[in-house]
Structure 1
Amino acid sequence: MNRLIPHPVLSAALVLVWLLLTAFSLGHLLLGGVIALVAGWVVGHMHPPRPHFRRWWLVPRLLGIVARDVVRSNIAVARILILGPDHPSYHSGFIELNLRLRDPNAIAVLALVLTATPGTAWVEYERRDSRLLLHVLDLRSDADWQSLIRDRYEALLMEIFE
C-alpha cells in the first residue's frame, strides 16, 4: 500500500480539492485520482532524509538567536523605510555566500531563518557548489554577511544536524 499510494492523506485531499474545483463526474474522479497518485509519488521522491539531531539541546539557543535577530532586523528595516530609500546609508544588493552546510534539513532551516528575517531574502541555492545568492536590504559588506551567516547560523546548525 505504501508503494502504490505513498501519501494517502495527501492523495485523498488532492482528489477532494479536484472534485470541489470541477463538476463531479466519473471522468473527473478518475483524472483527479491519477493526478493525486502522481503527486504522491513525486512528493515521496522530494522528501529530504529524516533529520537526525546530534545536539538537540542547542535548538532553543538557535531559536533565541533567530528571535533576537528578527526583532533587531524589524527595527532596522523600519528605520530604513521611515528615513526613506534616499537615505545615504541605505544600499541594497545581492551577495553570494559559500555555505559549509551539507545536510538538506540544516540548509532548509537556514533558508527559513534567512527568509523570515526582515531585510534578507533567500534567492537561489546552487547545491553542487554550495553557493547561496542572498538579497540584503542594507548591504554594507559581503565579508560581514559571510562571517555573520557562517559564525551565527551555520556553525550552530552544523552542531545541531551534522
Structure 2
Amino acid sequence: MKLLPAPWLSLALFAGWLLLTRSFSLGQALLGGVAAVAIPLLLAPLRPRPVPLKRPGVLLRLILRVGRDVVWSGLKVAAGIVRSGARPPQGTFVRVPLTLRDEHALAALAMITAVIPGSVWSELAADRSALLIHIFDLDDEAAFIAHFKADYEHPLKEIFE
C-alpha cells in the first residue's frame, strides 16, 4: 500500500487545512500532515479504478457537442420561461433505453445530463437498461431519445467500452 495513494488530494488537504486554520504553526502543520495522509488512505477503497483514455478524438467531439448543447438548451429554457404565459412548458419524464453499462460512462452521462439546462437525471433502472430523465419542455420524445443516444450514449460507449 502506498503512503500517498492520491498525492494531489493529500497536497490539497494539507493546504486546505493550513488555510482554514489560518495558522502555519508546527502543530497545525503536523495535524494537517496527518489529515493529508490519513484521509486518502481511509478513502482509498472508495476511489474508482483508473480508466485509460480511449479515443481522445471522440472525447473532444463529445466535449464540444455538450458545450454546444449547454448553450442551445440554455437559450431554449430561457425562451420557454419568457413565453410561459402564452404557452406553458411541456415538462415530461422520458424513458431512454440504454445499452451503456460501464460505471464510468454512466457517471459521465449523469454529469452531462446535469449540466444541460432543462434536463434532470431522475432514475437509472436497477439493471441499467433504462434511464428516466425529466425534460423542461419537450416537443418530440422520439427525436429527443434519438438525439440523446446518438450525441451522448454512443460516444461514451466508444470511449469507455
- State the TM-score, normalized to the length of structure 1: 0.72
Ranges in structure 1 where 5+ consecutive residues have no aligned partner = none
Which whole-Å CA distance do the structure 1 matches of 2:103 and 2:60 have between them?
A: 20
- Aligned partner of residue 10 in structure 2, secondary structure: helix
Quote how far apart the aligned CAs of 1:46 are.
Answer: 1.3
Q: Does the 8 A contact of 1:92 with 1:135 survive in 2?
A: yes
Ranges in structure 2 where 5+ consecutive residues have no aligned partner = none
Alpha-carbon RMSD across the aligned residues, in angstroms, is 3.1
Which whole-Å CA distance do the structure 2 matches of 1:23 and 1:74 have between them?
A: 40
Which whole-Å CA distance do the structure 2 matches of 1:140 and 1:132 have between them?
A: 19
- Aligned partner of residue 148 in structure 1, secondary structure: helix
Which whole-Å CA distance do the structure 2 matches of 1:40 and 1:135 have between them?
A: 36
Task: Tell me the matched-pair count.
Answer: 158
| Corresponding residue of 1:61 | 61
- Say if 2:127 is the partner of 1:129: yes
CA change 1:106–1:13 in 2 (3 A) is same
Quote how far apart the aligned CAs of 1:51 are.
Answer: 2.9
Query: 1:22-41 residue pairs with structure 2 within 5 A?
Result: 22=21, 24=23, 28-41=28-41
- State the TM-score, normalized to the length of structure 2: 0.72
| Corresponding residue of 1:49 | 50
| Corresponding residue of 1:91 | 90
Which whole-Å CA distance do the structure 1 matches of 2:31 and 2:86 have between them?
A: 56
CA change 1:95–1:34 in 2 (3 A) is farther
| Corresponding residue of 1:11 | 10
Which whole-Å CA distance do the structure 2 matches of 1:23 and 1:52 have between them?
A: 39
Quote how far apart the aligned CAs of 1:99 are.
Answer: 2.6
**Percent identity of the aligned residues?**
39
CA change 1:31–1:135 in 2 (3 A) is farther
Which whole-Å CA distance do the structure 2 matches of 1:161 and 1:64 have between them?
A: 18
Query: 1:68-83 residue pairs with structure 2 within 5 A?
Result: 68-83=68-83
CA change 1:8–1:158 in 2 (3 A) is closer
Q: Does the 8 A contact of 1:94 with 1:133 survive in 2?
A: yes
Quote how far apart the aligned CAs of 1:141 are.
Answer: 6.0
- Aligned partner of residue 51 in structure 2, secondary structure: coil
CA change 1:121–1:48 in 2 (3 A) is farther
